[in-house]
Amino acid sequence: MLNLLYTLLFIATCLIIGYVINHIFGGLPASLYGMMAFTLMLHFRLCDATRVKTSIAWGIKNMGVCFVPAGVGIINHFQLIKTHGLMLVAITFIGTLLVLTFVGLLFQRLENKANSLD
């Protein structure tokens, strides 16, 4: 129970940090800034990863519940999906392929640059 409260405290703190950053800089959603803050807190060991592990594992295990409303929302726009579904799949596939290719090439370039400095 204490680990759950510990996890909720850190998640709430990170979400508040996210709202503050969003209010100051804008750009990304506050929840995304909060996830970045949570990641940084874990990385720099400001948050004990072993204490949040159980709660986070439970959240991931039950994550499907969050996606059910989105699936139901898609059914409400079935005609739109029926008309443009193939194009949506193609755009998703091509966009994913382009992003993965770009990240891979960028990583290779940075890796080669780091190796040449050694």
Backbone angles phi, psi at 49, to 5 degrees: -65, -35
**Domain ranges within the chain, ordered by starting residue:** 1-62, 70-118
Residue 34 CB burial class (10 angstroms; 0-12, 13-18, ≥19):
buried
Amino acid identity at 66: C
Q: What is the mean pLDDT of residues 7-31?
A: 89
**pLDDT on residue 68:** 73
The per-residue pLDDT for range 75-103, each reduced to its tens digit, is 777 888 888 889 988 999 999 999 999 99
Share of the chain above pLDDT 90, in %: 31
62 SS3 class: coil
CB 15 within 8 A of CB 34: yes
